[in-house]
Structure 1
Amino acid sequence: KACFLYLAFFNTGWSLPVQGKETWGYVDVREGAHMFWWLYYADSSSFKDLPLVMWLQGGPGGSSCGFGNFEEIGPLDTDLEPRKTSWVSSASVLFVDNPVGTGYSYTDSEEALTKDVAMVAADMMVLLREFFNKQTEFQSIPFYIFSESYGGKMAAAISLALTKAVQKGSIKCNFAGVALGDSWISPLDSVLTWGPYLYSTSLLDDYGLMEVTRAAKAVQEAVEQGQYEKATEQWSITENVVEQNTNGVNFYNILTQQDDELMKSSLNDNGYLSAMKFRHIRPLHRQSLSQLMNGPIRKKLGVIPKNVTWGGQAEEVFESMSGDFMKPVVDIIDELLAAGVNVTVYNGQLDLIVDTIGQELWVKKLNWDGLKKFSQMKWTALEDPESAGQTGAFYKTYKNFAFYWILKAGHMIPSDQGQMALRMLKMVTLQE
């Protein structure tokens, strides 16, 4: 059941500022599977004049309602201070803890966790059908899906399922496009380019490049043999090799180093569960955020079951999806483009886990009929909103496909370059 909140004050030791109109709730997407969503209406005299954006986090197992909300694009940061680059200034924003088991979403048993992106998309269709049936004021408003990391892989599958559902009339919404940020669309293209990217930025020497390349080839072999769980394990091993040869480069931003404690913990075990726990889930559930979500935010929401801990099932979510983790979804992007869906790819210059050159490789594999023309086009520079006269990004668009190269940003673009991310949002959603 959805809950509405307009003003909130709690004596919890945290000061919760007055916010605009919000609503949230659970949807039972399957028996034993409960998905949580949280909507912020746009900060505008009329929210109907602005688009609706759904934000999907990565992992799988990262919380949109937690990390995406308080660390990246929501109205408040983790100190509960107003965010100057909040996307709520330019759109109504829907955060969904997806897949089930992520964030405040939960399952009654591990058997109810999702196994692949097809199952993820099916669950999201149930949630979106319920959402648009109840929030009828959003049925005609342009609806965009923005995503990050593995969230982009899920967003691709969700967008295709949504396109079909809208055509059939089973979901009433004005689906306007999908934006894939530093997204795990073609995992192998990412892994195979880690070595060359790090070598070109002087973070690997010849010996290190040889070691990383050898490890990446083992991932490729597993993928080509269709052994996807083995490929996920080899992916983890390759990450260990990268860390050992770069003195702990941060996979989310190559100009920083991995947290020393987390790195040592991950290097103790070559298994993929270790990599998941310490590299790609733990940073999304850092202690301060966990305390916020399991403390004052939980109390504010008032609908979280007593037996549910925010982020409590995150590791199980990743493990359950491990057989699907290394599978590409480039074919889904082709289907979206062929169906006329607006697709945007955006990537951070300093990201390693999903490096830009890997993204460019899978884009060149598209069967889209506009690819040749797109490839021949010259990109356009965008000025950095925070540094007059400095280039902050490049972009290129042709027909229903666009690519944004975001400079001085890592994996979490809104965190690293908030003003540029906000401008990109406005451009993608046709506000400028």
Structure 2
Amino acid sequence: MVQLTTYLILGLLPLLALVSAGRRPSPGKEAWGYVDVREGAHMFWWLYYADGPASYQDLPLVLWLQGGPGGSSTGFGNFEEIGPLDRELQPRKTSWVQTASVLFVDNPVGTGFSYVDGPDGFSRDVATVASDMLVLLRSFFTQRSELQNVPFYIFSESYGGKMAAAISVELSKAVTEGAVKCNFAGVALGDSWISPVDSVLTWGPYLYSTSLLDDYGLLEVTEAAEAVRKAVEEQSFQKATELWSVAESVVDQNTNGVNFYNILTKEPDEELSSLAKGDFIALLARRHIRPLHRQSLVQLMNGEIRDKLGLIPHNVTWGGQAEEVFSSMAGDFMRPVVALVDQLLAAGVNVSVYNGQLDLIVDTMGQERWVNSLAWEGLPTYKGLRWTPLDDPAAPGTTGAFYKRYRNFSFYWILRAGHMIPSDQGAMALQMLKMVTQQS
């Protein structure tokens, strides 16, 4: 039996607990709760109704999926990227809530405030992730029937894009069959881990072209990437994951510790050296989960936010199962899901890809590589189009992005942004949201 527990707060009540601490409250209407998606697997969600000049019923609903896997949408996506308040609980000028209702889900189970009762509850592949999300969405739209006819979009980041592709395929089928009542309007894949090997194979050329590798470094990174390619071609995906970790270390050594999330910054990680040699999965988890769980965010989520929500089990800590979530998915990391994107396009689903210029872990060169391999019948015409520049809303007269669109596929190149585009270029990300959801 699937159970849905919901707290719905109106007006200025959501942050009354924070007002007493001198914080500015969030306006608007919110709801949050848990869905038991499987026995022993409990998924947490948090909804902000659109809080702009138009009624939420006249605006789209956006589901935001974080990466990792193990990164929390209700934490990082909410307070670091697109929610109404930032990490300091101050209003965010570029919040997506001003132009859409936003649903954050801690996915897969075990992420953020979601939790499992035992190790068997963790997801091990995107098929299980998609199945769990379908259970949640079915319950969500049944309970929030006022949102069933609102255009519903899935936006994602990083590994969240890989999950979004799988979820979108299953959701499209479920809507057609009447199993889920919603107006599914499209999916947006941001800096997404759709074809991992294409990302790894382009690290060397990208870093070399930006003067972050010399000839010797390019050779070493290329050799490490080729080892990953070979393992993927042999479908030895666990081995490919380990070799991916090796390739990252080769990049790190040759670039003096370039930040995989934004090549113009450097974030040394002294903790990595303490890991046992050969512990590839733990190294990856630490490298890619830690940036999503900064200490200040951990304190906020396990302090004031936990108190506000009022329904988090006493034995659940925000982010407490994140590394287990990451490790449980290790065998699925390097599997491509390009075929799922082809399925979506063939089914007529609107698909958007967007990528940050300064991202390394999922560099734009790698994204373009898998896009150009699509079997989609519209690809030849799309490739023949020239891109269109977009003005940066935060700096009028400056180019903030380029985009190209043909039929139900579009690509956005976001300039001066790394992996977390809304954090780096909030105004441009908001403009992209409006374009994808056909508001401009």
Q: TM-score range by the shorter chain?
A: over 0.9
Alignment correspondent of 1:414:
422
- Aligned-partner SS, 2:342: helix
Cα RMSD over matched residues?
1.2
Match runs of 1:365-380 below 5 Å: 365-380=373-388
* Partner-residue secondary structure (3-state), 1:39: strand
Alpha-carbon contact 1:236-1:270 (below 8 Å) kept: no
| Equivalence for 1:115 | 124
Task: Name the structure 2 match of 1:392.
Answer: 400
Helix, strand or coil at the partner of 1:53: strand
Output the CA distance in 1 between the equivalents of 2:28 and 2:76: 20
1:169 correspondence with 2:178: yes
Residues 56 and 95, structure 1, Cα contact 8 Å, conserved in 2:
yes
Q: Secondary structure at the match of 2:330?
A: coil
One of 315, 319, 335 as aligned partner of 1:311: 319
For residue 234 of structure 1, the aligned residue among 232, 237, 243 is 243
1:321 corresponds to: 329
**Separation in 1, partners of 2:17, 2:252:** 43
Q: CA deviation at 1:13?
A: 4.8
Amino acid at match of 1:35: M
Q: Within 1, Cα distance between the matches of 2:25 and 2:245?
A: 41
Asked if 2 retains the 8 angstrom alpha-carbon contact of 1:251 and 1:258, the reply is no
In structure 2, how many angstroms separate the alpha carbons of the residues matched to 1:254 and 1:245? Answer: 13
2:308 — aligned with what?
300
**1:47 alignment partner in structure 2:** 56
1:275, distance to aligned residue in structure 2 (A)? 2.8
| Distance in 2, Cα, partners of 1:232 & 1:293 | 31
**Structure 2: how far apart are the matches of 1:83 and 1:279?**
28
Deviation (angstroms), 1:265: 4.9
Query: What is the deviation of 1:398?
Result: 0.2
Aligned length: 431
**Residue 10 of structure 1, CA deviation:** 2.1
SS of equivalent to 1:61? coil
* Corresponding residue number in structure 2 for 1:424: 432
Alignment of 1:10-409 (within 5 A): 10=17, 13=21, 15=23, 17-44=25-52, 45-262=54-271, 264-265=273-274, 269-409=277-417
Are 1:248 and 1:263, in contact at CA under 8 Å, matched by a contact in 2? no
Code of the residue aligned with 1:79 in structure 2: it is: E
In the alignment, the residues of structure 1 paired with residue 22 and residue 200 of structure 2 have an alpha-carbon distance, to the nearest angstrom, of 42
1:5 aligns with 2:13: no
1:246-268: CA deviations, max 9, x gaps? 000000000011234356457x7
Can you list the C-alpha shifts for 1:70-123, whole angstroms capped at 9, x where unaligned? 000000000000000000011000000000000000000011100100000000
Amino acid paired to 2:384: Q
What SS is found at the alignment partner of 1:55? strand
Unpaired segments of 5 or more residues in structure 1? none
> Would you say the 8 A contact 1:10–1:16 is kept in 2?
no
SS at match of 2:263: strand
Pairwise CA distance, 1:225: 1.1
Shift of 1:297: 0.2
User: Is this contact kept in 2: 1:55–1:94, CA < 8 A?
Assistant: yes
Over 3 Å counting, the alpha-carbon distance change for 1:193 and 1:51 in structure 2 is same
One-letter amino acid matched to 1:5? I
3-state SS of paired residue (1:10): helix
* Matched AA of 2:378: G
CA deviation profile, 1:186-239 (whole Å, cap 9, x unmatched): 000000000110001000001111111111111111111111111111101110
Task: After superposition, give the CA deviation of every residue in 1:52-79 in whole Å (9 maximum; x if it has no partner).
Answer: 0000000000000000000000000000
Distance 1:308 1:328 in 2: 33
| TM-score, scaled to structure 2 | 0.96
Q: Which amino acid aligns with 2:17?
A: F
CA distance in 2: counterparts of 1:273 and 1:332, whole angstroms? 26
The structural deviation recorded for 1:308 is: 0.4
> Residue deviations 1:303-359, cap 9 Å, x none?
100010000110000111000010000000000000000000000000000000000
Please give the alpha-carbon distance, in whole angstroms, between the structure 1 residues aligned to 2:31 and 2:89: 18
Does structure 2 retain, via aligned residues, the 8 Å contact 1:229–1:323? yes
Structure 1 residues 201 and 263, CA gap change in structure 2 (3 angstroms): farther
Moved over 4 A (4+): 11-14, 262-266
How far 1:273 moved relative to its partner?
A: 2.3
SS of 2:46's partner is strand
Cα shift readout 1:110-155 (whole Å, capped 9, x = no counterpart): 1110010000000000000000000000000000000000000000
Secondary structure at 1:256 match in 2: coil
For 1:226 and 1:143, the matched residues in 2 are separated by 35
Deviates more, 1:205-214 or 1:182-191: 205-214
Which has the larger displacement, 117-126 or 218-227? 218-227
% identical aligned pairs: 70
The one-letter code matched in structure 2 to 1:3 is: Y
1: CA distance, partners of 2:302 / 2:358: 32
Relative to the length of structure 1, the TM-score reads 0.98
Answer yes or no: is the 8 Å Cα contact 1:37–1:94 preserved in 2.
yes
